[in-house]
Amino acid sequence: MKSLIKSIWAVAKREIDRMSSGTLYILAVLIFPVLTTLFFCSLMKEGVPAKMPIAIVDLDQTSTSRKMARNIDATPASDVVMSLQTEKEAMSELRKGSIYGYIVLPQNLQADIMANRQPVVSYYYHNGLFIAGGLLRNDFALITHTLSAGINIQKREAMGQSEQEIMAQVQPIQLNMHLLFNPRANYTVYVTTIILPIMMQIFILMMTVYSIGIEIKERTSREWLKLSDKSIVVALTGKLLPYTIIFLILMMFQNFMLYKVMAVPMNGGVGWIILSSFLFVLSYQAIGIFCIGLLPMMRHALVLAAFYAILALSLCGFSFPTESMSPIFQIWSYGFPVRHYMHIFQSQILAGFEPIYSARSIIYLLLFLLLPLIVLNRLKSALIYQNFIEDIHKTDIQAI
Amino acid sequence: MKEGFMNTLKIWLREYQVVLTDVGVVIIIIAAPVVYPILYSLVYYPEIVSDMPVTVVDLSQTSESRNFMRQLDATQELKVEGSCISMEDAVQQFKQRKIRGIIVIPESFSEDIANNRQTNISAYADMEFFLYYKTLMMGANFVSLEEGKQIQINNLMQKGLDLNQAGAVVDPILPDDNSIANAVGGFATYAIPVALMLIIQQTLILAIGIAAGTARERHALGTLVPMDKDKMGTFRMVFGKSAAYFTIYALLCVYLIGIVPKIFGYCRMGSFGELAALMTPFLLSCIFLGLTLSVLFKTRESPMMLFLFTSFPLFFLSGIIWPLSNFSPFWLMFRELFPSSNAIFGFIKMETLGATVFECKKEIMAMWIQTGVYFVTACIVYEVQVRLSKRKRAELASTVAQTE
C-alpha cells in the first residue's frame, strides 16, 4: 500500500516536471481556460440585453402618432435610434444592421382610430438574431398591446365608464409569468452557467489525450510504465492526478465567478458544487483515456476527442431541448457528462430540490468512470510495444 | 519572372500533395465540413418546440376553467398533460421532469369573469431552457388575450354595442407581427449559418497549422521551410500555398453554401455574385491568418490543443447570440481580429434578409482589411522562416566542410 502511494507520487512528480517544461501545457491547462472563463463572464454580464436599436416610421404625423412614438421610446428593451420617412429606408437600415427592428405607424392612423376602422400597426424584427429577435418581438407585442389598451381606455371613458370599471374590464384575464425555482430570467443564469463547463470539457478531454499520447509518440511510454511498477492503473492515476487537481481548481474558479461575482442564485450547498465538479472532471478524464486507448495514435485520438467535444454544445440539450430531437440524438445526449452536470446544477444548486432527484445524474456520471476499463489492456500493450507510432522520415536531410 | 511563376506553381501543386496525402488533414478539411452541417441539421431538425407538456392546476373546477384548459391544449405550443388539484402535485410532476410548465387557474376564475373583475392566471416555466419559457409564454399569453377579448366583447355587447363597435373598442389598432428572417423561429435557421462559416474558418486554420507542425517534424532541424529547396522565396511560398487552400475551399463552399442549404431548406436569398463577393475576402483572410498563426505551432498536435477551443467563443463573438448593440467596446474591437465575426453576420444578412453587397459594405470592407493585414503578417513570418532555413543550411554546410 505504501509503495503504491509512493509510485503514484513518483509518476505525478514526473508529470509535473513535464508540464512545467512546455509552453503548450501552460497555455492549454492554465491560461486559455482562465481567459475563456473571463471572456464569457464579461461578454454577457448585463444579464438581459437592453436598449436594442430600433426605428419608427411615422407615416401619419398627427398628434396621436407622435404621442405613440414617444411611448415607444420609453420601453426598456429597445431604443429608438432613428425616425425614418419610408418603410423601404427602414428595411435597408435593418439589412445593414444599424437597427434590429422597426414599427410602422400607418397613414390615417388617427382618423381610423376615431372612426372605429381598426388601423393596422406593423412591426418588423430581425429574427436571425437569437436573443435580440425574441426579445424585440415581445417588446413590440407589448408596445402595440399597451397602445391598444390606452385607446381602449379612452373610448370607454368617452362611453362614461368609471375608472374602476375600466381597469377591471380592459384586461379581464391577466397573465403572470414566473420561472420555476429561478427568480431571475437572465442570460447569465441560462447561458454562462452551462457554456463555462462546456468550454472546460474541451480542455480536460484534449489534455488527457495529449498527456498520454505524447508518451507514445515520443517513445517515453516504457520509462513511464517502469516508474509505475508496470501497473497501468498506477501509471494513469499518477499521470492524471495533477490534472484532476488543476482542473478541479479551475472549475471552482468558474463557480466562484458565477456565484460570487455574477451573483447567480445558489440554493444548494457548496457540497453539491464540489461533488458535481469533481465527478465532471473525472468523467471527462475517463473519456479521454477511452479515446487514446481506442486509438493509441495520438493525432487520431485527438481528432476523435475534438469531434466529440465540439458536439457537446448542440447535443447536451442546452441550446435546443433533447425532447424535441429525434430518438437517436436523445439517446446520444446521455453520452455527454456535461448534460448530467447541468441537471445536477439545475435541480440542486439553482432549485434546491431533494437529493433524490439528482441520484440518476450522479449514477450516469459514475458510469463514465468505467469506460477506461474497456481499453486498459489495449492501452497497456500500446505503451509497451509502441506499435502505434508513425514513422517520421526526415524529408530534407538527404539533400545536405 | 517566368521562373518565379513556375516555382509558385510547383509549391501550389506540392501543397495539394502535402494536404491530400495526410489522413489527419483530409479528415479536417474534407470529412469535418461534409459531416458537421448534416449532423447539425439533423440534430435541430424539428426546429421548434411544439406541444410542450404542461399541467394545469385547476382550482376553479368550472365549465369556464375547463374551456380555458381546452383552449390551451388547442395551441400549437402547448399540450395539457392533465390537471392537478394542488400546486404541490404539479411541482412533484415537474421535479420528475414529466412536465415543463405549470398553469394555475385561480379558484375565483368564473366568479371574477361573471362579476367583471380582473382574474389572474399564473404560469410557471421550466428554468432549463429559454425556449421552454418562450413557448409557455406564447401559448398562455395567446389564450389569455383571446379569452379576455371575448369577455370584453360580450360585456360591451350587453351594454348595447354591436359586434363591430365592440371589436373596435377592444382592438382599436391591430398589431401585425412580421418576423424578418426565420419566420417560424426555427433553431436550425439560427445556428446553421453560424456553423457553416465557423467550420470554414476553423478547419482552414487547423489544417494549415497541422500541415505546418508536420513540416517542422519532418524537417531535420525543425524549420518550417525545408532546407533543401533554395528557390522557395517568401512570396512564392505564400502565393503557392494560398492558391492550393483557396481552390480546395472554393469547391467546399459550393457544397456548404450551395448544396447544404438547398437540401435542408434554409433561407437562400443571396445571389451567386453577392455570395462570392462575401466569401472571397473571407477565404483569403482565413488563409492568411492561418499562415500567420502556423509559425506558432511546433508540432502537428499543437493546433488542436491551442486553437480548437476558440470555436465556442467565436460563435458568441459573431453577434448572432448576444446582440452587438450590447457588446462592450473592448469586445467589439477584439471581434474584428477574426474573419468569422464579419462573415457570419454578413452571410446571415445576405441569405436571410436579402441584403445586397452595398448593404453588407461594412462586413466586406472589414474582411478585405483583414486580408491585407494578414497577408503582410504572413509574408513577414514566412520571410523570417525562409531566412532561418537558409542560415541553418549555411551553418550545416560549413560544419560539413570543416569536418571534411
Among the three residues A142, A170, A198, which one is the final residue of a domain in this structure?
A170
Tens digits of residue pLDDT in A300-340 = 999 999 999 999 988 887 777 777 788 889 899 999 999 99
pLDDT of residue A183 exceeding 70: no
Whole-angstrom distance, CA of residue A206 vs CA of residue A32: 13
Average pLDDT, integer, range A61-81? 89
Count structural domains, chain B: 2
A261 vs B: CB within 8 A: no
Distance from CA of B137 to the nearest CA of A (A): 7
Count structural domains, chain A: 2
Cell of B308: 480548437
For B361, the enclosing helix (H) or strand (E) is helix B361-403
Among the three residues B124, B142, B170, which one is the final residue of a domain in this structure?
B170
pLDDT score at A393? 63
Average pLDDT, integer, range B353-378? 96
pLDDT of residue B143 exceeding 70: yes
Closest chain B residue by Cα to residue A346: B128
Q: Looking at the domain assignment, is residue B91 inside a domain?
A: yes
Q: Looking at the domain assignment, is residue B178 inside a domain?
A: no
pLDDT of residue A110 exceeding 90: yes
- 3-class state of residue A232 by DSSP: helix
The mean pLDDT of chain A is 90
Look at B389 and A201; give whichever has higher pLDDT: A201
B119 to A128: CB separation less than 8 angstroms, yes or no: no
**Residue A125, domain CATH:** 3.40.1710.10
A181 to B127: CB separation less than 8 angstroms, yes or no: yes
Interface test with B, best of A324, A339, A360 (most B CBs within 10 A): A324
Q: Which domain holds residue A129?
A: 52-170
Whole-angstrom distance, CA of residue B108 vs CA of residue B114: 10
pLDDT of residue A199 exceeding 90: yes
Average pLDDT, integer, range A70-96? 91
Of A185, A314, A399, the CB nearest to B133: A185
C-alpha of B225 from chain center: 36
Is the same domain home to B152 and B195? Answer: no
Angle, helix A270-294 to helix A193-217, in steps of 10 degrees? 40
Cell of B255: 457544397
Among the three residues B170, B196, B230, which one is the final residue of a domain in this structure?
B170
Q: Which domain holds residue B358?
A: 2-44+186-403
pLDDT score at A185? 64
Of B217, B301, B325, the CB nearest to A210: B301
Of A109, A180, A314, the CB nearest to B124: A180
Among the three residues A170, A196, A213, which one is the final residue of a domain in this structure?
A170
In chain A, residues with a C-beta closer than 8 Å to the C-beta of B187 are 319-320
For residues A238 and A226, is the Cβ–Cβ distance under 8 A?
no
Is the same domain home to B270 and B386? Answer: yes
B326 to A170: CB separation less than 8 angstroms, yes or no: no
pLDDT score at A400? 46
- 3-class state of residue A396 by DSSP: coil
Which A-chain residues 27-86 have CB contacts (< 8 A) with chain B?
27-28, 32, 36, 39-40, 42-44, 46, 49-53
Q: Looking at the domain assignment, is residue B181 inside a domain?
A: no
CA distances, B398 to each of A93, B389, B404 (Å): 66, 14, 10
In chain A, residues with a C-beta closer than 8 Å to the C-beta of B29 are none
Is the same domain home to A37 and A67? Answer: no
Is the same domain home to A8 and A64? Answer: no
Closest chain B residue by Cα to residue A129: B320
Distance from CA of A306 to the nearest CA of B (A): 8
Q: Name residue B47's amino acid.
A: E
Whole-angstrom distance, CA of residue A178 vs CA of residue B234: 63
Whole-angstrom distance, CA of residue B173 vs CA of residue A148: 6
**Residue B90, domain CATH:** 3.40.1710.10
Tens digits of residue pLDDT in B105-128 = 999 999 988 888 889 999 988 766
Is the same domain home to B106 and B200? Answer: no
Interface test with A, best of B326, B341, B386, B392 (most A CBs within 10 A): B326
B177 to A126: CB separation less than 8 angstroms, yes or no: no
Tens digits of residue pLDDT in B34-86 = 999 999 888 887 667 778 899 999 999 999 999 999 999 999 889 998 888 88
Is the same domain home to B69 and B37? Answer: no
Is the same domain home to A244 and A308? Answer: yes
Among the three residues A170, A195, A215, which one is the final residue of a domain in this structure?
A170
Is the same domain home to A26 and A131? Answer: no
Interface test with A, best of B301, B318, B345 (most A CBs within 10 A): B301
- The residue among B20, B322, B40, B22 whose CA lies nearest residue B197 is B40
Of A92, A127, A320, the CB nearest to B359: A92
pLDDT score at B95? 82
Distance from CA of B46 to the nearest CA of A (A): 7
Tens digits of residue pLDDT in A21-62 = 889 999 999 999 999 999 999 998 888 888 999 999 999 999
Of A42, A189, A299, the CB nearest to B301: A299
Q: Looking at the domain assignment, is residue A390 inside a domain?
A: no
Q: Looking at the domain assignment, is residue A243 inside a domain?
A: yes
Of A32, A170, A357, the CB nearest to B309: A32
Is the same domain home to B195 and B68? Answer: no
For B169, the enclosing helix (H) or strand (E) is helix B163-170
Is the same domain home to B36 and B96? Answer: no
* B359: Cβ contacts below 8 Å, ≥ 6 apart: A92, A95, A96, B349
pLDDT score at A76? 81
Is the same domain home to B38 and B73? Answer: no
In chain B, residues with a C-beta closer than 8 Å to the C-beta of A44 are 322
Is the same domain home to B118 and B197? Answer: no
Is the same domain home to B190 and B294? Answer: yes
Exposure string of A55-64, with b = 16+ CB inside 10 Å and e = fewer, is bbbbebebeb
Q: Looking at the domain assignment, is residue B97 inside a domain?
A: yes
Is the same domain home to B211 and B340? Answer: yes
Of A32, A97, A173, the CB nearest to B144: A173
Is the same domain home to A95 and A232? Answer: no
Percent of chain A exceeding pLDDT 90 equals 61
Is the same domain home to A251 and A124? Answer: no
pLDDT score at B51? 85
pLDDT score at B44? 82
In chain B, residues with a C-beta closer than 8 Å to the C-beta of A179 are 124-125, 127, 133
Is the same domain home to A125 and A109? Answer: yes
Whole-angstrom distance, CA of residue B246 vs CA of residue B261: 22
Closest chain B residue by Cα to residue A318: B129
Whole-angstrom distance, CA of residue A146 vs CA of residue B54: 28
The counts of H helices and E strands in chain A are 18, 5
In chain A, residues with a C-beta closer than 8 Å to the C-beta of B127 are 179-182, 189-190, 346, 350-351
Closest chain A residue by Cα to residue B390: A400
Is the same domain home to A79 and A199? Answer: no
Of B152, B331, B400, the CB nearest to A172: B152
How would residue B249 be classed by pLDDT, with cut points 50, 70 and 90?
Answer: very high
- The residue among A176, A320, A323, A265 whose CA lies nearest residue B124 is A176
Whole-angstrom distance, CA of residue A233 vs CA of residue A243: 16
In chain B, residues with a C-beta closer than 8 Å to the C-beta of A396 are 218-220, 226-229
Degrees (nearest 5) of the Cα angle A369, A372, A374? 120
Q: Looking at the domain assignment, is residue A132 inside a domain?
A: yes
How would residue B390 be classed by pLDDT, with cut points 50, 70 and 90?
Answer: confident
In chain A, residues with a C-beta closer than 8 Å to the C-beta of B147 are 172-173
In chain A, residues with a C-beta closer than 8 Å to the C-beta of B32 are 307
- Tabulate helix, strand, coil % of chain B (nearest 5): 70, 10, 25
pLDDT score at B127? 65
In chain A, residues with a C-beta closer than 8 Å to the C-beta of B320 are 128-130
- In DSSP notation, A286-337 reads HHHHHHHHHS-SHHHHHHHHHHHHHHHHHHSSSSS-GGGS-HHHHHHGGG-H
Q: Looking at the domain assignment, is residue A181 inside a domain?
A: no
Structure letter (DSSP) for residue B308: G
Is the same domain home to A245 and A309? Answer: yes
Q: Looking at the domain assignment, is residue B356 inside a domain?
A: yes
B173 to A394: CB separation less than 8 angstroms, yes or no: no
- CB count within 10 Å of CB A32 equals 20
Tens digits of residue pLDDT in A342-398 = 989 888 888 778 888 889 999 999 999 999 999 999 999 999 988 777 666 666 655
Give pTM, 2 decimals.
0.92
Is the same domain home to B269 and B368? Answer: yes
Could you identify the residue written with the cell 377592444? B170
In B157-291 the beta strands, taken as DSSP E runs, fall at 174-180
In chain A, residues with a C-beta closer than 8 Å to the C-beta of B397 are 400
Is the same domain home to B36 and B100? Answer: no
Q: Looking at the domain assignment, is residue A395 inside a domain?
A: no
Q: Looking at the domain assignment, is residue B177 inside a domain?
A: no
Tens digits of residue pLDDT in B324-359 = 999 999 999 999 999 999 999 999 999 988 899 999
